[in-house]
């Protein structure tokens, strides 16, 4: 088996090998290479101890952020590459972080600590593929399986539960039976995982193409991380999931659809540490979920308030099975003809109104009322027409 390794990565492996160490590409890169999907980063694993790595990479720029866990980041041809010493992780008292890591010279030991068989495939040019746990078979059979006893593995680190759901959904894999059972059994341990990490995994999961089976089969896990969804009737839950599946892979739109029947979606987002921007987007999607836009003028008012979120709003409505063609036609026409719908686009400014003697609050009110007339096409958007209109009122 031959896997192509880019030069900037191969050079690092060669450096280590020339110093009598061994090094392999491991994890996501090998998984992706074998699945013929895009590789986004290369992680290396080596029997060199951290201090030995530092010695080998003296001439390189290195970053030591993870050094106590054995990870040195080496910058190779401008690309940062994480290289980690083979290690075993000792007892996880907090269900998340190993209490101690012990370095080892055995690649197999290092692979044992990894989460899933498909994430423990190692490769280098010299030795070829190392596959201690039949990861290749699982890849071929589209199976996600824990290494070792799944019950123990989720107990050690409960975040693996969400990683399992994310990988299975993203890769369209089936979770092997014992692994699946252990997920259900250990889900309560997710309570000790930081909300940031839960949010991150959930977001990754929401970007999978097919999420329906995951959300239907692991409803109990989602109720564990978002207890508010226990409010849902089984029909509401199924309907929300059905809509999410239709929303393609836009995670904010999918999250809004997931929360669509809740009385207090804001507190869910707050609890999961959603950013202000994402919270705003999701709440706007829910606020506008029943909006009906019946004319081009109504669309202009809508754009005035919600333009930055328009793509997401359209995606939300489309997922709900609504016909968004008319909305899109209005938008296209407004844009093509550059028809104004914001104060900024109005042919008069506050300054113009000041010049003709308006003051303070009057200015904003007058601008708003002029914009309204322009939106409704009662007057054209030219300076003369607008000023003329003011004169005729006064």
- In the complex, which residues of this chain contact ligand ATP (CB under 6 A)? 27-28, 43, 114-115, 119-120, 157, 159-160
Task: With CA atoms as reference, report the closest residue to 155 among 210, 115, 213, 202.
Answer: 115
Residue of 31, 162, 46 whose CA lies nearest to 96: 162
Compute the least distance from the CB of residue 44 to Mg ion, in Å.
12
Coil, helix or strand at residue 356: coil
Number of helical (H) and strand (E) elements in the chain, helices listed first = 21, 11
Residue 115 phi, psi (nearest 5): -80, -55
Residue 166 or 254: the one with the smaller Cβ distance to ligand ATP is 166
| Residue 213 interacts with, from Mg ion, ligand ATP, none (CB under 5-8 Å by kind) | none
- Which residue, 169 or 268, is less far from ligand ATP as judged by CB? 169
- From the list 199, 137, 212, the residue with the least C-alpha distance to 169 is 212
- H or E element, residue 80: strand 79-85
Q: Considering the complex, what minimum distance in angstroms separates the CB of residue 379 from Mg ion?
A: 58
**What's the number of CA atoms in the CB half-sphere (13 Å) around residue 118?**
24
> Considering only CA atoms, which of 181, 171, 102 is closest in space to residue 141?
171
Give dist(CA 25, CA 282) in Å, integer.
39
Using CA atoms, how far apart are residues 263 and 231, in angstroms rounded to an integer?
9
Other Cβ atoms closer than 10 A to 54: 16
Query: Least Å distance between CB 20 and ligand ATP?
Result: 25
Instruction: Compare residues 28 and 265 and give the one whose CB is closer to Mg ion.
Output: 28
Residue closest to ligand ATP when measured from CB atoms: 28
The answer for 248, left when phi > 0, alpha when psi is -120 to 50, beta otherwise, is left
50 makes contact with Mg ion (CB under 5 A): no
Minimum distance, C-beta of residue 115 to ligand ATP, in the bound complex (Å): 4
* One character per residue 2-41, x = contact with Mg ion (rule: CB under 5 A): --------------------------x-------------
Continuous segment of H or E residues that includes residue 122: strand 122-124
> In this complex, which beta carbon is closest to Mg ion, that of residue 28 or of residue 50?
28
DSSP string for 47-65? SS-HHHHHHHTTTSEEE-T
For ligand ATP, give the closer residue by CB, 44 or 331: 44
- Residue closer to ligand ATP, measured from CB, 115 or 131: 115
Q: Which does residue 312 touch among Mg ion, ligand ATP, none (CB within 5 to 8 A, set by kind)?
A: none
Per partner kind, with CB cut-offs from 5 to 8 A, the member of ligand ATP, Mg ion, none near residue 95 is none
Least distance from ligand ATP to the Cβ atom of residue 160, Å: 5
Beta bridge partners of residue 76, listed in sequence order: 79
Of 136 and 347, which has the nearer Cβ to ligand ATP? 136
Residue 70 interacting with Mg ion (CB under 5 A) = no
| Nearest approach, Cβ of residue 169 and ligand ATP (Å) | 12
- Least distance between ligand ATP and beta carbon 27 (Å): 3
Strand order in the sheet with 43-46: 61-63, 71-76, 79-85, 43-46, 23-26, 122-124, 128-130
In the bound state with ligand ATP, the residue whose beta carbon lies nearer, of 100 and 356, is 100
Residue 265 interacts with which of ligand ATP, Mg ion, none, CB < 5 to 8 Å by class: none
For the bound state, the minimum distance from the C-beta of residue 43 to Mg ion, rounded and expressed in Å, comes to 6
Q: Which is nearer to ligand ATP, 157 or 339 (CB)?
A: 157
Kindly tell me which of 25 and 107 has the beta carbon lying closer to Mg ion: 25
Q: Extract the tokens encoding 45.
A: 């694993």
In the bound complex, what is the minimum distance in angstroms from residue 159's beta carbon to ligand ATP?
5
When CB distances are held under 5 to 8 angstroms depending on the partner's kind, the choice from ligand ATP, Mg ion, none that residue 115 binds is: ligand ATP
Please give the full DSSP string across 217-263, using - where no structure is assigned: HTHHHHHHH-GGGGGS-HHHHHHHHHHHHHTTT-HHHHHHHHTTT-S
Q: How far is the CB of 323 from ligand ATP (least distance, A)?
A: 37
CB 90 within 8 A of CB 73: no
Contact residues for Mg ion, defined by CB under 5 A: 28
């Amino acid at each position: 088996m031959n896997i192509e390794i880019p030069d900037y990565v191969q050079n690092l492996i060669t450096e280590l090998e020339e110093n009598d160490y061994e090094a392999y590409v491991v994890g996501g890169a090998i998984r992706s290479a074998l699945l013929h999907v895009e590789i986004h980063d290369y992680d290396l694993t080596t029997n060199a101890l951290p201090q030995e790595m530092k010695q080998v990479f003296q001439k390189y720029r290195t970053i030591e952020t993870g050094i106590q866990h054995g990870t040195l980041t080496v910058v190779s041809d401008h690309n940062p590459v994480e290289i980690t010493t083979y290690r075993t992780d000792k007892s996880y008292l907090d269900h998340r972080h190993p209490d101690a890591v012990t370095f080892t010279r055995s690649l197999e030991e290092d692979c044992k600590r990894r989460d899933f068989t498909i994430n423990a495939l190692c490769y280098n040019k010299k030795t070829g593929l190392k596959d201690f746990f039949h990861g290749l078979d699982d890849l071929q059979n589209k199976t996600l399986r824990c290494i070792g006893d799944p019950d123990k593995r989720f107990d050690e680190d409960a975040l693996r539960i969400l990683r399992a759901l994310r990988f299975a959904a993203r890769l369209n894999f089936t979770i092997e039976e014992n692994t699946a059972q252990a997920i259900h059994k250990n889900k309560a341990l997710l309570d000790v995982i930081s909300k940031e990490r839960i949010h991150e995994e959930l977001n990754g999961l929401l970007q999978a193409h097919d999420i329906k089976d995951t959300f239907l089969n692991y409803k109990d896990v989602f109720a564990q991380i978002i207890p508010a969804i226990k409010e849902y009737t089984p029909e509401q839950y199924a309907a929300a999931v059905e809509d999410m599946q239709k929303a393609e892979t836009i995670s904010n739109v999918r999250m809004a659809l997931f929360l669509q029947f809740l009385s207090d979606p804001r507190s869910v987002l707050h609890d999961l540490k959603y950013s202000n921007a994402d919270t705003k987007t999701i709440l706007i999607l829910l606020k506008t979920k029943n909006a009906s836009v019946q004319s081009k003028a109504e669309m202009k008012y809508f754009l005035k308030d919600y333009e930055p979120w328009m793509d997401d709003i359209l995606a939300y409505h489309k997922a709900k099975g609504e016909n968004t063609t008319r909305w899109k036609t209005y938008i296209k026409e407004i844009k093509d003809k550059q028809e104004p719908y914001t104060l900024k686009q109005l042919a008069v400014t506050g300054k113009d109104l000041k010049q003709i003697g308006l003051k303070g609050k009057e200015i904003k009110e007058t601008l708003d009322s002029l914009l309204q007339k322009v939106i409704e096409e009662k007057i054209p958007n030219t300076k003369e027409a607008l000023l003329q209109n003011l004169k005729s009122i006064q």
